[in-house]
Structure 1
Amino acid sequence: MARIVFFIDHLRPDGTQQVLKQLVTGLSRRSHTLAVVCLDATWDEELIAILRKAGAEVRIIGRWNMVSGFGTLSLWLWLRHRRFDVAVTLLAVADVVGRPLVRLAGIPRLVSSIRARNLNYPPWKLFLAKTTMPLVDAVIVNSSHTKSWAVNSEGAPQEQTFVIVNGVEVDAYMHPIHREALRASLQLPSEQILIGSVGRLTEQKGQDLLIDALALLKRPDIHLMFVGEGNKETALRGQATRLNLSQQVHFVGYRRDVPQLLGALDLYVHPARFEGMPNALLEAMAAGCPIIASDADGNRELIEEGVSGWLTPVGDGEALARAINTALSNADEAAQRGKMAQARAQTHFSIAAMVEAWESVLLQHYKYNGVKHVFTQ
C-alpha cells in the first residue's frame, strides 16, 4: 500500500477540507499510510480529531515558521525521512510551496487538485501557480469547467488532468429536525418561509445577490438563513440593514448540524459567482431540498434545469428573485425537483466512487472505474 501525504493551506472546516476528510477516511480503510501537512496554524479541532482517528498523522507548520525558513527546512527533512510515495497539494499556498518542496524531497509522484476556477487570483498568484505547474505529474479537478480553466489558465497537463466529482453520504441527510423547531430557534412563527444558504461569506459565494433578491420580492413572510462565516459578514449585515431586511436575514455562523438543518428549509439557494463543485449544494441535494442555484461551473453539473432544480444567470439578482417566487408559488413542483435532486445525489455522487477514483490517479491506475461522471479525462 502507498504512503501518501496531503499538503493543505489550513484546516478550517471549509469545502476542500471536507473532501480531504472523506479522502483520508476512505483511503485509510484501503490500508494506505497517510499524513496531512497544514501550512497555516489555523484549524478546527474536530476536523483534526477525525483525521487522526482515521489514522493520519497531522503536522501543523504555521505561516511564520514557513516564512522564517525553519518550518520549511524541518518539513523538508521530515519528508526526506518519511519517504512518501505520493504527495497531493490542495489550495493555492500548498500548490506554490508544496510542489517544489515535494520535488526537492524526492517524492516520486506529485498530484495537485484545483477545486474551482480561481477567478479571484491576483496576477502574481496565478503566475506562481503556472510557474510551479510543470512540477506535477497529474491534476485532479472536480468539474469539467474547472478542467478547462486548469488547462488554459494554470497550465495543467491536458492528458493528465482528471475530473473526479465530489461525493456525499445521502443517508446522513435523511433525518432533518422538525420544521417548527428550526424556526423557533430563529424566533420565527412556524408559518414563516425560510430560505437557506450554506457557505463561506465571501464575494465568490454571492450572498449579497440573495439579499438583493429578497428586497425585490417585498415579502415580509420570507426569511433568509446564512450558515457560515467569512470576511463579508459585516458588509452583508450592513446591506440587510440598508434594505430594511435586518429582521428577515439571519446569520447563524458555522454549524455542525447542517445535515439536520437542510431538510427543514422551504428552499435552498446557492447564488455563487463561480464554483468548482460545491459541497454545500451537494448536501442540499442529499437532503432533498428544493434548490435554486446560479448557472455557474459545477452548479450546472449538479443541478439539471427543470428537473432537479432551477438555474439562474450568474450575478443576476432579479432572475434569482423571479426563480424564488416561482419555486415558492409551486410547492408540489418544488418538492418533486427536490426528490429528483436527492435521487441524483444518491446515484451519481457517492463518496466510495470518489475515493476509488482518487486512488486510481494517485497510484497511476488510469483505467476508468465504471462509475458514470466520476472519473473522466
Structure 2
Amino acid sequence: MNILFVTPHMVTGGAEKMITDLSKGLLSKGHTVGIATSGGHLLEEMAEAGAKIHVNPLLAQRKPFQVFRSGLWLSRVIRKHRYQVINSHSLITTWMSKLGSTLSLQFPQKIFTMHLIENPNVFRYIRIMTRFTTDAIITVSDSNKKRLIDAGVSSQKIHVVHNGINIGKFPYIKRKQSSTLTIGIIARLIPRKGHEIFFNAISNVDKKIKGDWARVLVIGWGPLEKQLQMLCSQLQINHIVEFLGDRHDVPELLEQMDTLTLPSYYEGFPIAIMEGMSTGVTVIATAVDGIPEIIEHEKNGLLIHPGNIEELERAIERVNASYELRTQLGRAASEIVQSNFSTEKMTVNTERVFNTILKSTA
C-alpha cells in the first residue's frame, strides 16, 4: 500500500508519537509511507526510517482560502506519488485531504483518525463532515466510538484501533524503596491537562508531611509554563517541583519515577500513561474518555474524577505511604500494557482497517 498521513504538525505529542511509531511499523511491513505536515522535529526520525516527507506550512492554517491552497498542494502530492490511502489526523486536515483527493483525480481512500474531541457538540459536526469527506473513521477508544454512534455516525464506518507503544523502549523496572517519592506529570502545559489540580493536590500533601517527602518532575512545554511556575511559588512547593521542559529522554526519566499522574479533563488514549505503566510506574489518572480502557481502578492504577483536588490528594498520600501498593499496581500495569498495547498490535490492526477499506471499494 501507498499511505499518506496528513497532520498539522509533527512536534512532541501523543498523536504525533503515534503517527511516528505507526509509520515505522507500516514501513517495516513493506508499505510505502508519506507524511504531509507543516513541519516539526519528528520529521527527521521519520525520514531516517524511510518515510517520504512533504512539508507545507499551510497545513497548520485554518482560513478557507488557505485550506483550499493546501488541498491544491495535496492534490499534486497525491497524484505524483499515487497514494492509495489518505489518513488525516485532525478535522481541518480532513477537509484538506478531501479536497486534495478530489482534485488529484486519483480517488484514494480517505480515512480520518480521531484522537480527541474536547467539545461534545463537535461530534454532530463530525457526523456531517465525515459523510462527505471520508470513507472510514478510526478512533483510538471505545468511548469515542460510542459518542460518534450517539451523534448519528454509522457504526459500520467506525473502527477502533487503540494506540500502542514501543515496548522495547519501556521495559518493566521494579522500583527501589525510598523515603522520597518521585512523582511526575508528562503533558503539554495547557488547561485541559489539569496541572493546576495536580499542584494544588501536591501542596495539600506537602502541608501535612514535613521535609522533602517528594520530588516532582514536570515534563512538557506549552503556553501555561510561566503561569504554572508562579502557581508553584504561590503554593510554596517550588522547592520540590522541577520544570524540565520538552524532553526526548522520557524512558530515562520514567526510570526515576515512582508515580505518574495525568489529571486531564479530556483525553484520547494517552501514550504517556501507557509508557509509564509499561515500565512499572504507578499511575494516577482521571477516569475520562479512553483512560478507563487502560486502567482498572485499584487493579493496575488509581482513577479519580476530573477536577477533584481532594481525590488526587488522597491518591498521592496512598501511594506515598505504601511501597507494596506501588509495586503491586506497577507490576499489573506493566503486564496489561505489554500484553495489549504494543506498536506491533496497533500496526496490524491499522493495516487491517486500511486493507478492508481498499477491498470494499475495489
Does the TM-score normalized on the shorter chain lie above 0.5? yes
SS for the counterpart of 1:328 is helix
Deviations 1:159-197 (A, max 9, x none): 1211111112223123879989xxxxxxxxx85322101
Q: Which residue of 2 aligns with 1:265?
A: 257
Deviations 1:142-166 (A, max 9, x none): 111111233344x543212111111
- Count of matched residue pairs: 349
Q: How far off its partner does 1:79 sit? A: 1.8
Q: Which residue of 2 aligns with 1:55?
A: 50
Kindly indicate whether the alpha-carbon contact (under 8 Å) linking 1:312 and 1:319 is maintained by their aligned counterparts in 2: yes
Q: How far off its partner does 1:293 sit? A: 1.0
Kindly indicate whether the alpha-carbon contact (under 8 Å) linking 1:142 and 1:277 is maintained by their aligned counterparts in 2: yes
Distance in 2, matches of 1:282 and 1:176, equals 14
Kindly indicate whether the alpha-carbon contact (under 8 Å) linking 2:258 and 2:326 is maintained by their aligned counterparts in 1: no
Q: Which residue of 2 aligns with 1:253?
A: 245
Q: How far off its partner does 1:72 sit? A: 4.0
Aligned partner (choices 142, 145, 160) of residue 144 of structure 1: 142
Q: Does 2:101 align with 1:102?
A: yes
Distance in 2, matches of 1:327 and 1:178, equals 13
SS for the counterpart of 2:78 is helix
Residues 1:289 and 1:252: Cα distance change in structure 2 (over 3 Å): same
Give the partner amino acid of 1:112: F
Distance in 2, matches of 1:119 and 1:297, equals 10
Most deviating of 231-240 and 354-363: 231-240
Q: How far off its partner does 1:12 sit? A: 0.6
Q: Does 2:279 align with 1:282?
A: no
Deviations 1:45-80 (A, max 9, x none): xx2122112221111111389655655433322322
Kindly indicate whether the alpha-carbon contact (under 8 Å) linking 1:83 and 1:107 is maintained by their aligned counterparts in 2: no
Residues 1:251 and 1:179: Cα distance change in structure 2 (over 3 Å): farther
Kindly indicate whether the alpha-carbon contact (under 8 Å) linking 2:75 and 2:102 is maintained by their aligned counterparts in 1: no
Runs of at least 5 residues in structure 1 that lack an aligned partner in the other structure: 181-189, 368-377
Kindly indicate whether the alpha-carbon contact (under 8 Å) linking 1:360 and 1:366 is maintained by their aligned counterparts in 2: no
Q: Which residue of 2 aligns with 1:12?
A: 11
Give the partner amino acid of 1:172: K
Residues 1:12 and 1:167: Cα distance change in structure 2 (over 3 Å): same
Q: Does 2:303 align with 1:311?
A: yes
Q: Does 2:132 align with 1:113?
A: no
Q: TM-score, normalised by structure 1?
A: 0.85
Q: Which residue of 2 aligns with 1:336?
A: 328
SS for the counterpart of 1:113 is strand
SS for the counterpart of 1:263 is helix
Kindly indicate whether the alpha-carbon contact (under 8 Å) linking 1:293 and 1:299 is maintained by their aligned counterparts in 2: yes
Give the partner amino acid of 2:165: V
Q: TM-score, normalised by structure 2?
A: 0.89
Residues 1:179 and 1:203: Cα distance change in structure 2 (over 3 Å): farther
Kindly indicate whether the alpha-carbon contact (under 8 Å) linking 1:35 and 1:56 is maintained by their aligned counterparts in 2: yes
Q: How far off its partner does 1:83 sit? A: 2.4
Residues 1:319 and 1:256: Cα distance change in structure 2 (over 3 Å): same
Q: Does 2:183 align with 1:195?
A: yes
Kindly indicate whether the alpha-carbon contact (under 8 Å) linking 1:310 and 1:323 is maintained by their aligned counterparts in 2: yes
Runs of at least 5 residues in structure 2 that lack an aligned partner in the other structure: none
Distance in 1, matches of 2:353 and 2:250, equals 31
Q: Which residue of 2 aligns with 1:185?
A: none
Residues 1:288 and 1:176: Cα distance change in structure 2 (over 3 Å): closer
Distance in 1, matches of 2:70 and 2:267, equals 32
Kindly indicate whether the alpha-carbon contact (under 8 Å) linking 1:274 and 1:297 is maintained by their aligned counterparts in 2: yes
Give the partner amino acid of 1:193: L
Distance in 2, matches of 1:75 and 1:139, equals 20
Q: How far off its partner does 1:254 sit? A: 1.0
SS for the counterpart of 1:37 is strand
SS for the counterpart of 1:356 is helix
Distance in 2, matches of 1:366 and 1:71, equals 25
Distance in 2, matches of 1:8 and 1:65, equals 8
